[in-house]
Amino acid sequence: MGRRKRGQDIHGWVLLDKPLDMTSTQAVSAVRRLFDAKKAGHAGTLDPLATGMLPIALGEATKTVSFAQEAGKTYRFAIRWGVSTDTLDAEGKTVATSDTRPDIEAIKAALPDFVGDIEQIPPKYSAIKIDGERAYDLARAGEEVEIAARPVRIDRLDIVDAPSVDETVFEMDCGKGTYVRAIARDLSQKLGTEGHISSLRRTAVGVFEESAAISLDELADLAHKGRAFEGLAPVETALDDIPALAVTEEEVSHLRQGRSIVLLPRIAQELRAQRRPRDLSGKDGSRLAVAMHGGMAVALGDAQAGKFVPSRVFNHSL
């Protein structure tokens, strides 16, 4: 007799407001236990120091994780001036100090150099792999860590508060792979001082916004009352900014068998006319779209040459 799989088939997104001093892996495990879910994953790591939006996918929602990971993100963070740490945040050991405290005008003048497509060197205490080893493991072992600069995109970087001469609060919209701690390091260097991240909060991941987030305590309370599903967003939530294609019941059957469906010229034209934040068109003229029926995602695939070709099929009930 085969071994019985643990957990239940739970499908959807938990938009978790991750608490301080918890790793992303610990957060996923906690949510998975509350739902007794078979399968879970998250869309973008948050350091233990960071709080805020950690989208956690359960069941079939894990098939959409990559789309959430590729989406833009918004952070609110504070830089404490005058002290640099080895980890570039408040958890690290002090490695340098400075008496210089940049004024607001100097900081504002420096910010344009950090907006747009820029090159950024990730922190040595990061999950970047070097010859098969995590950079943070090498750094903790006392080894010299050399990480090459990589391109990142920052769409907005603004000062939102200045509670004291020692600390400035910023808000940033950025793309995948941007390290906030590296911003603190590089901005401090440009301003001729030292600095590190003293607090960090992620307020949005793509279509997932802070206003929809739920705390772990709130989720645990719902689970205790047998109402955990009230804290679950639909699988389709991560695909809200991808062009949608309405399909019939007969087409649903074809797609679930991995077969392509024909797009009528009118439907293909309507699909092309859709204006979404992410128009993921390929060089071959194909266009990523999500097939929908009854308000639920049936499949992700490419619309091209008058056909919709499924690449990922969802198996949750319609």
How many residues would you count in the chain?
Answer: 318
Strand partners, 298: none
150-to-38, 119, 134, 187 alpha-carbon distances in Å: 36, 5, 17, 17
CB environment 146-176: b (16+ within 10 A), e (fewer): ebeeeebbbeebeeeeeeeeebbbbbbbbee
Eight-class DSSP state of 122 = P
**Set 21, 36, 47, 117: catalytic member:** 47
The residue behind tokens 């233990």 is: 48
Q: How far apart are CA 235 and CA 70, in angstroms?
A: 17
Q: How far apart are CA 282 and CA 280, in angstroms?
A: 7
The structure tokens listed for 153 are 């995109």
The residue behind tokens 């990061």 is: 126
- Concerning whether 221 is annotated as a catalytic residue, the answer is no
Mind telling me the catalytic residues?
Answer: 47
